[in-house]
Structure 1
């Protein structure tokens, strides 16, 4: 079977089954997993499938379900801890200003900030603000807005307007999905608008995203790949995904 014939057959199988892993495709077509990953990369570039962690889904499949904060906090705990510790190395010097996006991994970064490190911190996350409120070395600003029960984060026009007048040294961002084709994304449009404002307000943007979300597209993009300076992820990221993202001129830090 020629490569073009195999790739066409892969698309047909992925559409028929709704999702296939790299290993399943390799076994079905008697090729190596490296060949499958190359096929999926080519097919994604053509808009025929979407890469997800460990496999592929039909091109029309977008992540629309948003896990609640408690569910996210309990997932991939060790990887998120490693990511947060690696992100500490990227903190700007004492006296600098940062934006902390809502999320379970950014919350771990908030926990890890040394008590001796003086920072100005802006956040829209009630949970993160509560974690930092007792640190007298941090000048803490909780951004206004309607708090979503799902994420404990302030969103809406008031939040976006408050961020719009800021200029900070660095923003630490979470995401529900990161891919070469779609960038950094999240399911909720109001969350996306707030995240977008964070990206525009920062001199340097750092994404804190565990590898299960790499290669995944959520429904609303808030940043293109080239608008983020550093992606901090964990060691289970697929080699092809890491290379593709690094090829978009983003520094990839593997914790």
Structure 2
């Protein structure tokens, strides 16, 4: 088996199982543990996983790991575009209403596709965001007006946070919110590493009439430090593949729809 083939399979196993062990991989591939460690080192440098003692875990599996906006922007671009396109189906034809767009790279993909979708479906929207990347995409776009909520901007995510941001969001009642997450699990709900980001996301979820979570499947079953919403707070989860049995059953019990891109 070539190194590239091993790397692809390791990435798939990390997504499916959340972690891999050096010894198990060496047995599976019929190579030395040193070879596997080199493979894991290369995959960590590529941002595909995080090394831990004896193996590796998905980057989202450690409770404080939070890749930067730049790092995340370069990963899984096609999947994020597909998820964003599917998520915008929630607006239907001739949408006339308010939309909140959360910070994140998948939500930024929603923002990128939104003007064209509004034009195609003869819609219009009042868009609100606290994310600088989203604001940059939508500033001056046709068929929508844009409100940007301020606050202290976290360099890691390019998003406004803090009490001013939370209070401003709490005073809104958007029709639809597109929100991102770092993790979604049956037992812990939706979570993120940073308490201030969690406070902002919690305010968005609680203020919005309909909450649409956009998330690639790598976030499934991950639990980060701070929970900001329960599964029953969410109306639709849009992802690039269906969740596993445990999470899928929990979402069904919570009354949350699952859409795949």
**TM-score range, shorter-chain basis?**
0.7 to 0.9
RMSD: 2.4
Runs of 5+ consecutive residues of structure 1 not aligned to the other structure: 1-17, 29-55
SS of 1:66 mapped into structure 2: coil
**TM-score, structure 1 normalization:** 0.74
Alpha-carbon distance, 1:127 to partner? 0.7
| 1:76 Cα deviation from its structure 2 partner | 1.6
Deviations 1:98-125 (A, max 9, x none): 1100000000011111252310000000
Is structure 2 residue 81 aligned with structure 1 residue 81? yes
What's 1:170 paired with? 176
Residues matched between the structures, number: 205
- Residue 127 (structure 2) aligns with: 121
Q: Secondary structure at the match of 2:96?
A: coil
Map 1:1-255 to 2 at 5 A.
19-20=19-20, 62-91=62-91, 93-113=94-114, 114=116, 116=119, 117-235=123-241, 237-255=243-261
Equivalent-residue separation in structure 2 for 1:225 and 1:239 (angstroms) = 15
What SS does the aligned partner of 2:127 have? strand
Unmatched tracts of structure 2, length 5 or more:
1-17, 29-55
User: Does the 8 A contact of 2:63 with 2:224 survive in 1?
Assistant: yes
SS in 2 for 1:97: strand
Q: Distance in 1 between the 2:72 and 2:91 partners?
A: 24
Contact 1:212 1:237 in 2 (8 A): no
Superimposed CA distance per residue, residues 169-214 of structure 1 (whole angstroms, 9 cap, x where no aligned partner)? 0111000000010001100000000000100110110100110001
Query: TM-score by structure 2 length?
Result: 0.73
2-structure distance, mates of 1:241, 1:194: 24
Which 10-residue stretch deviates more, 94-103 or 228-237? 228-237
